[in-house]
Structures are given as C-alpha cells and as structure tokens.
Chain A
Amino acid sequence: GAVVSQHPSWVICKSGTSVKIECRSLDFQATTMFWYRQFPKQSLMLMATSNEGSKATYEQGVEKDKFLINHASLTLSTLTVTSAHPEDSSFYICSASVGSAPSYEQYFGPGTRLTVT
C-alpha cells in the first residue's frame, strides 16, 4: 500500500504559539489530502480538504484562520495551528487518496499528537 508520513509525531507547545504539522505522500503524488482530528476515545472528524495549488476547503465549524492549510506540492501538505490553546490539544491525522473517485483507496499518516499547555 501507499505510504503517508507525518512530522512531528508529537509536539508540546505553549498556549498562544503556533505549530506546523507536515503530511507527506512518500511514494505517490496526491493532488488532494485530508486533515482529520481525533479526540481521546472518539472517532475521526474531517477538518478540511487540502488541494494542491489552491485554497483548502474547510468543514462546517472549523475555523480556517486558526487552522491554516498549505498544499505547496503534490507530496506535501501542512497544517498550522495558529495561536494554539489547550482546547486544540488533539490527535491530528492526514490522509491521501490513491486512484480517483469514486474508486480509490485512502491511506492515513501515523498521526501527530498535539498538547498545548
């Protein structure tokens, strides 16, 4: 299967600072990547769709000015949590699709655990 990596795997930051999380497709090109967040013992919630070369599409209720997404190349998308607060502490996971809709396989990165103190 295709490989998606994330960096860092975990990060601790102080309230008010910004944190950048990288998502890379290692052995394939991804014009579209997805960012999810997962709270403890809960399922994944889609935050936004990252589109290479254009603006990201955010799900309802997700603040686009707080969660900045940049998809600069076909293998890299970044999520920046700006002015982080303790309530932003969560597990952030990205994914990328191989193939095209409606028949595709979607692969996930290992996740980044963010703790805001």
Chain B
Amino acid sequence: SQELEQSPQSLIVQEGKNLTINCTSSKTLYGLYWYKQKYGEGLIFLMMLQKGGEEKSHEKITAKLDEKKQQSSLHITASQPSHAGIYLCGADEGGNEKLTFGTGTRLTIIP
C-alpha cells in the first residue's frame, strides 16, 4: 500500500503569514486529495489533484502535484484563524477510490 508522509507534523504560524505543508509518497500517485479536519469532526474536502504538474487554488489555498506525481504541497497565503485545524493528504491506491492517508499536519494560527 501507499506510504504517505506529511511534513511538518505541526505548525504554529502568526496570522497573516504564509505557510506550506508537504505530502510525499513512496509510489506514484493516481490521485491526491487534501482534506481539513477539526478535532473530533469529519473531513472537509479541499482539493483533488490528478495530473503531474497540476495546480489548483481555492480562495487562499493552493495545492500542487509534482510532475512525478509523488509529492504534493499545500500552500496557504495570508493565514487566518479559520485556517487552523488538521490537514490530511490522501492518496488513491491504483484508481480504485480507496484512500490511504498521511499522518496529518496540525496547524495553529496565532492572532
């Protein structure tokens, strides 16, 4: 199965600053999904990347998938308190809709 590593494990950022979270796979990804989770709650879908070199943006969040489709980054510009939470990347194992999740990155925004 896929092995996904996320870095950093936790991140404390002052409000207004930019930040980047990385997700690295041991294998080529068929699809890479980014979710946000607040403790004890479900996952909120952020973005899905499928093609090598693909980049998507939504509001202040941009996600990229490298050409080799083994690494993805999530970048938040001008962070806000509402961005706080746990960010999880999920990888599709062979295009069969089963997702393997990374270890998660806990983001804290300091006012």
Contacts and interface: CB of A to CB of B under 8 A. Distances in A.
A105 B101 contact: no
Interface stretch (A68-76, A78-86, A109-117): A109-117
Given A44-B88, A93-B42, A101 B103 contact: no
Nearest to B102: A43
Contacts of B99: 34, 44, 46, 95, 106
Interface of A: 1, 4, 6, 32, 34, 43-46, 49, 91, 93, 95, 97, 101-111, 113
Interface in B96-111: 96-104
Interface stretch (B27-35, B59-67, B76-84): B27-35
Interface of A is mostly: strand
A32 B104 CA distance: 25
B44 to A, nearest CB: 8
Contact of A101 (B40, B44, B95): B95
Nearest to B104: A43
B22 interface: no
